[in-house]
Amino acid sequence: MRYSLRQNVAAEPVIAGWYGWSYLLPPQILARFARNRFTRIVESYLDNPQVHATAVRQRRMHGGPWIHAHEHHDAIRDWYRETAPRRERLDELFEAIRQLEEEILPRRRGECLDDVYQELPRPLAGRVEVFYGRDNRTADYRFIEPLMYASEYYDESWQQVRLRPITEDAREFALTTPMLEYAPDQLLVDVPLNSPLLDTIFRGNLTADELDELAARLGLHGERAGRFRAYFEPAPEPAGPPAGDDVLEYAGHACVFARYEGTTFLVDPALSYAGYPGGAPGRFTFADLPDRIDHLLITHNHQDHMLFETLLRIRHRVGRVLVPRSSNASLVDPGLGGILRRLGFRDVVEVDDLETLPCGSAEVVALPFLGEHGDLRIRSKTGWLLRFGERSVLFAADSTNIAPTMYAKVAEVIGPVDTVFIGMESTGAAASWIYGPLYGEPLDRRTDQSRRLNGSNFPQAREIVETLEPGSVYVYAMGLEPWMGIVMAIDYDESHPAIVDSDLLVQHVRDKGGTAERLHLRRTLPI
């Protein structure tokens, strides 16, 4: 008998006690989130748990700084006290960054910066470069990111995985609640996120002895080892080689699987679970993936497009990962390549605008991606154009068409596009919802609300369609799938601007004789 992880068991990544996503992996960014967001959330909760209990029940408060596990006051209090010594190191790094940004660099107004390197606080000394902008008056800096990961501030012992069964499609928002063992069927395992042991878990097909050995290597014994073994079930019989037909398979949110002449692609992976009653029928789940994903494509560094929970589970299947190139190495724009390599992916390629890569039987082109990032200097974002022979498919993700002439210029380079996938969350969150902990100074409310994380609205998306003239247009990446609630906080009704705008686009394309649909759950499409 051989055993594999049950299809409804989630392995949720944990970094420093919080749901793990890409902005918590680089230590310099984690330090900012720990001080500017997480500490405030926990101390607010410990001071008045009832405020949090009331807030999470109100729709208008969804996604705010509230702890959802509000009934576990003592467990959260004890965890917060026990981890205080470990947070001191992050506080040291936070204070060093604050000193550089608020005290050292503002004193420089054009003179030589050589002496700054002698003033750098110890956590940053030898790990940052300082420079002027083109005005020759404003001093700025970048992290030498590999040295930050090599420092004592990057501590893999802060990384864990929480195993627990999923019993329904809807997932509760996780980004503001400590990831502890809140129920007897949950198990928090101390394991670095890049550990090959996780690949062993997800690959499955283990004998009973191998399963026992795996539990021991994870440091699980006695009752905890028994709880771990209970997450496994007899492995199904191999299904034989997968069908080889060319296909586009929409898997929910911004996730699309493609196979063309035997080469497989997966874009922005965020997959649902299976194996429990009451789930939405016909979903695309982990079980629907082939054994090998030749090319994994990430459009940008937001938690719903670079979902660690899915990435870890499929890592053992992935060949090459393609990501947009980042040249900033700043707090708001860490290198995606470095993050993925430290997540355990070995073959990561960073691609620049309009660069073309042969990928098996297809070609991949990186296209410019504007907007949706709060007007911050963030380079690590791209749309992916996949050329399948004579056919082409654009995954534009949340690109906002704020510069309509850009797509006309792009079209002159890439030629016709047959199919466009476009996100239309036309009224996104305020920029501070993601980036607030990283600001030097908080934005005033009016400014913050003006710099929203918007996708294209109807006029902007219509301009893309009229410029590229695709025969098929699919609206996606809307956060409609209930399992995306773990990292998103969107409550739609028929009057929501994103629904209205996307309905208008779908009707516009259909009126012109094209194919158009707002996608939801799963859809099999022709290439």
Q: Which stretches of 386-457 are DSSP H helices?
A: 404-414, 432-435, 445-450
Determine contact, residues 420/474, Cβ cutoff 8 Å: yes
Supply the DSSP symbol for 469: -
pLDDT score at 243: 62
Residue 183, C-beta contacts closer than 8 angstroms, at least 6 positions apart: 164
Q: Please, which contacts does 93-98 make with residues 24 or more away whose CB atoms are closer than 8 Å?
A: 93/27, 93/28, 93/31, 93/123, 93/153, 94/31, 94/32, 94/34, 94/35, 95/121, 96/120, 96/121, 96/122, 96/123, 96/124, 97/28, 97/31, 97/32, 97/124, 97/331
Q: Residue 303's closest CA among 192, 179, 173? A: 173
What gap in Å lies between CA 308 and CA 312, rounded to an integer?
Answer: 6
pLDDT score at 238: 64
Neighbours of 405 (CB within 10 A): 10
Write out the chain's pLDDT in tens, 527 residues: 999 999 999 999 999 999 999 999 999 999 999 999 999 999 999 999 999 999 999 988 999 999 999 999 999 999 999 999 999 999 999 999 999 999 999 999 999 999 999 999 999 999 999 999 999 999 999 999 999 999 999 999 999 999 999 999 999 999 999 999 999 999 999 999 999 999 999 999 999 999 999 999 999 999 999 999 999 999 987 654 456 789 999 999 999 999 999 999 999 999 999 999 888 888 999 999 999 999 999 999 999 999 999 999 999 999 999 999 988 899 999 999 999 999 999 999 999 999 999 999 999 999 999 999 999 999 999 999 999 999 999 999 999 999 989 999 999 999 999 999 999 999 999 999 999 999 999 999 999 999 999 999 999 999 999 999 999 999 999 999 999 999 998 889 999 999 999 999 999 999 999 999 999 999 999 88
Q: Which strand ranges, in their side-by-side order, compose the sheet holding 206-207?
A: 206-207, 2-5, 232-234
pTM of the model: 0.96
Phi, psi angles (nearest 5°) of residue 400: -105, 125
Q: How far is CA 76 from the centre of its chain?
A: 26
What gap in Å lies between CA 372 and CA 402, rounded to an integer?
Answer: 10
pLDDT score at 242: 58
> In sequence order, what DSSP letters do the residues of 214-280 get, joined into one string?
HHHHTT--HHHHHHHHTTEEEPPPP--SPP---EEEEEETTEEEEEETTEEEEES---B--SSTTPP
**Sign of the Cα pseudo-torsion (273, 322, 345, 38, in order):** negative
318 bridge partner residues: 293
Residue 290, C-beta contacts closer than 8 angstroms, at least 6 positions apart: 242, 259, 264, 317
132 bridge partner residues: 139
Burial (CB count within 10 angstroms: exposed 0-12, middle 13-18, buried 19+), residue 152: exposed
What gap in Å lies between CA 107 and CA 317, rounded to an integer?
Answer: 51
Supply the DSSP symbol for 395: E
Q: What is the total residue count of the chain?
A: 527
Determine contact, residues 34/16, Cβ cutoff 8 Å: yes
Distances (CA, A) of 472 to 247, 264, 292, 382, 517: 15, 21, 28, 21, 9
pLDDT score at 239: 59
